[in-house]
């Protein structure tokens, strides 16, 4: 009996020893990502001199935080008056879902599908000015087809992309049907980083057609042969100039965590 008790005790001890896990080493924390410094557009100043010598300036100032666009402030300045408007960008889950003008008159709404921007609506004092839908993206995630609906007209645009630039835009008139036709426009680029690098797609859909999208969404700057283009030491566009019409660009450095 004593031997049986001792044997049972040994078996129990071995079982307990076998079930006991060796202490696991504490996981080694990975390296903390280093903050990155990125260049973002801070302001655009467009100057136009009328034949009578009167100068008009249109100024857009952009506010950023951690690489995200927070506000756009626009001013129209003439010798007689100055008009200032601003719109704030509202984010949810990292996406812009609406923009709100500080006057309360303009509001833009955006919806997403599978993480990609799908629809957009522009309201002015609760009346719909236009709406649109992105109906196709290409394999690189670029907008390939988009529809703009202005109630009185409805157009579909197809964009052809080469090396990140929209080299061709084809417009198809959907409504009114009796005016149905196509118009294809081609674009050339300067090979320098776009002034709109880092801007969200929701910003690039401004306006009532896809021409804004071509200029803002491409990787480089659209060229117009009537302008002279000037760049800084970092190949950033700082001005484009022609007689009586000039645009100037300024940048800020942003730390993105």
Give the pLDDT of the chain (257 residues) as one tens digit per residue: 443 333 343 334 434 444 444 556 666 666 767 788 999 999 999 999 998 989 999 999 999 998 899 999 999 999 999 999 999 999 999 999 999 998 888 899 999 999 999 999 999 887 888 899 999 999 999 999 999 998 889 999 999 999 999 999 999 998 887 666 789 999 999 999 999 999 999 999 877 889 999 999 999 999 999 999 999 999 999 999 999 999 999 999 988 88
Spatial separation of the C-alpha atoms in residues 226 and 243, rounded to whole Å:
9
Q: Which residues pair with 157 in a beta bridge?
A: 146, 171
Residue whose structure tokens are 């009185």: 152
- Helices marked H in the chain: 2-19, 201-204, 211-217
**Residue of 175, 161, 171, 172 whose CA lies nearest to 219:** 161
Spatial neighbors of 120 by CB under 8 A, at least 6 apart, are 108, 109, 110, 111, 131, 132, 133, 202, 205
Overall CATH class of domain 38-256: mainly beta
Q: How many helices (H) and strands (E) does the chain have?
A: 3, 17
Spatial separation of the C-alpha atoms in residues 72 and 89, rounded to whole Å:
8
Residue 179 burial by Cβ neighbours in a 10 Å radius (0-12, 13-18, 19+)? exposed
Residue 27's pLDDT is 64
Spatial separation of the C-alpha atoms in residues 109 and 200, rounded to whole Å:
14
């Amino acid at each position: 009996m004593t031997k049986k008790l001792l044997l049972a005790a040994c078996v129990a001890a071995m079982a307990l020893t076998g079930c006991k896990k060796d202490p696991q080493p504490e996981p080694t924390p990975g390296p903390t990502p280093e903050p990155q410094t990125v260049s973002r557009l801070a302001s655009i100043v467009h100057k136009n001199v009328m034949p009578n010598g009167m100068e008009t300036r249109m100024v857009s100032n952009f506010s950023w935080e951690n690489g995200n666009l927070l506000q756009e402030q626009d001013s129209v300045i003439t010798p007689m008056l100055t008009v200032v408007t601003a719109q704030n960008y509202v984010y949810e889950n990292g996406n812009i879902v609406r923009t709100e003008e500080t006057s309360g008159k303009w509001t833009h709404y955006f919806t997403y599908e599978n993480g990609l921007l799908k629809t957009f609506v522009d309201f002015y004092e609760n009346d719909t000015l236009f709406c649109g839908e992105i109906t196709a993206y290409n394999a690189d995630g670029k907008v390939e087809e988009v529809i703009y609906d202005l109630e009185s007209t409805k157009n579909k645009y197809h964009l052809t992309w080469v090396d990140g630039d929209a080299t061709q835009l084809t417009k198809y008139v959907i409504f009114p049907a009796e005016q149905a036709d196509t118009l294809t426009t081609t674009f050339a680029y300067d090979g320098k980083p776009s002034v709109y690098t880092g801007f969200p797609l929701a910003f690039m859909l401004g306006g009532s057609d896809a021409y804004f999208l071509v200029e803002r969404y491409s990787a480089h700057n659209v060229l117009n042969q009537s302008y002279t283009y000037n760049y800084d030491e970092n190949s950033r566009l700082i001005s484009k100039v022609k007689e009586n019409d000039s645009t100037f660009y300024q940048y800020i450095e942003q730390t993105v965590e």
